[in-house]
Chain A
Amino acid sequence: SQQGEEDPQALSIQEGENATMNCSYKTSINNLQWYRQNSGRGLVHLILIRSNEREKHSGRLRVTLDTSKKSSSLLITASRAADTASYFCATDVVGSGNTGKLIFGQGTTLQVKP
């Protein structure tokens, strides 16, 4: 099964509301990353949180990491219609060496209604 699993699969909110997406994983990680994908486009890196970090902020994004529960959450505050996209978590698993391989979750599709 997938290393990263996100929930919810789909989320629909009104502009101005906050959006929270969760990611769970199974094995020990070096870091966890969040990416965004607009429909039909490539992925864009949003934020990276290392295994020894618990929380990280970037603009309207807040990411938390709980290694004891093997879970992470992405919070987007004061959402905008332009935040409509799919969001993926990806893990750099311990033991991947110099490959740089990431394991991606199935993603959460966020729709922000104007």
Chain B
Amino acid sequence: SQTIHQWPATLVQPVGSPLSLECTVEGTSNPNLYWYRQAAGRGLQLLFYSVGIGQISSEVPQNLSASRPQDRQFILSSKKLLLSDSGFYLCAWSQLAGGEQFFGPGTRLTVL
């Protein structure tokens, strides 16, 4: 069966520090991968998606970047965090375009 992992689960970082969040998927190959951010009490904002290794599309201009170094690995990064980067970050995968997405447990990021 397929599983999706995200780590860390929680993270507190000072403004200006770097960021690396990792997401890995098991039990499937060539998935579409997604990074979302969720502000408190709000819906999901799509940040990046990837349809293959090395293929990254950005949905909104921001202080973050994403990479997909392996088929089932998706990394969200920042060189210098801003206060506005705080939020709940969710990684998801799907096998079929437009089909259901499977979400990881999320990372709660607090930038102080």
Give the B-binding residues of A (Cβ under 8 A).
Answer: 2, 4, 30-31, 33, 40-45, 48, 88, 90, 92, 96-107, 109
Contact = CB atoms under 8 A, between A and B. Distances in A.
Contacts of B46: 101-104
Nearest to A91: B98
B96 A100 contact: yes
Interface of B: 32, 34, 36, 41-44, 46, 49, 51, 57, 59, 88, 90, 92, 94, 96-106, 108
A60 B74 CA distance: 35
Most-contacted residue by chain A among B36, B49, B100 (CB, 10 A): B100
A30 B108 CA distance: 32
Contacts of B36: 104
B33 to A, nearest CB: 9
Given A30-B98, A43-B90, A92-B98, A104 B44 contact: yes
Contacts of B103: 42-44
A100 B98 contact: yes
Contacts of B101: 43, 45, 90, 100, 102
